[in-house]
Amino acid sequence: MAKIKYWLDWLFKDLTERRGKYVIAEVPNLPLVIFMVTLIIGIIQYPGFGQKLFLGISFVAIIYWGILEYKGGRSRFRKLLGVLGLLGAVGALMLTLVK
């Protein structure tokens, strides 16, 4: 049981204040909201310039969000989410370029 508590503390504890708080979820910041909105619009948009524009904006927004989370995340969990967001965006870009 002590090892589980150790790993939970290591992953979720706040790295900035060290007051014993756990950081799992934070209010979505602006790049994440922009990503979600433009992705939805890009998916429902008729194929063409508009769709490419909205999907491009969503790609840039998720890359920016991932960098912000990795550099400024308050816990290792948040930093991991940033890295996964970056890897997912790059992977999606690679899949679209291969087609």
Domain locations in the chain? 26-98
pTM of the entire predicted model: 0.84
Percentage of the chain exceeding pLDDT 70: 95
Give the model confidence (pLDDT) of 49-86 as tens digits.
Answer: 999 999 999 999 999 999 999 998 888 888 999 999 99
For the segment 79-88, what is each residue's pLDDT rounded down to a tens digit? 999 999 999 9
Q: Are 96 and 34 in contact (CB under 8 A)?
A: no
Task: State the Cα–Cα distance between residues 64 and 67, nearest whole angstrom.
Answer: 5
The band of 16, judged by pLDDT with boundaries at 50, 70 and 90, is: confident
